[in-house]
Amino acid sequence: MKTLLHIALALAVCSSAALAETPQPNSIVIDCANIGLPTLRQVGELLDQHNAGQIYASRSRLLAGARRDCKGGIDRVVLVVEPAADARRDRLAQQAPQR
């Protein structure tokens, strides 16, 4: 639970026409016509979690949100992890020109 608070998780809801052919590297695509569970490994890698119980709980929460979104009549739900604010700040600092 604590790890989820540190990760900014965005649920991007996309129609099948707007969804690119190749999925983003840090994402899980759930097809609303045939909702299946992502593997624990996929969820663990997406959220950078290593505890099986924590991954299982996270997967349950993510799937509940995806099912809720699928009831709205969309084709697919894409679960995307955005970098945390600290990681974005560090990346920007590395890219800034040195004076």
DSSP string, 22-74: SPPTTEEEEEGGG--PPPHHHHHHHHT---HHHHHHHHHHHHHHHHHHHTTT-
pLDDT for the residue 86: 63
pLDDT for the residue 72: 86
pLDDT for the residue 62: 92
pLDDT for the residue 94: 64
pLDDT for the residue 1: 44
What residues of the chain score a pLDDT lower than 50?
A: 1-21
pTM of the model: 0.62
pLDDT for the residue 43: 93
Q: How far apart are the first and last CA of the chain?
A: 41
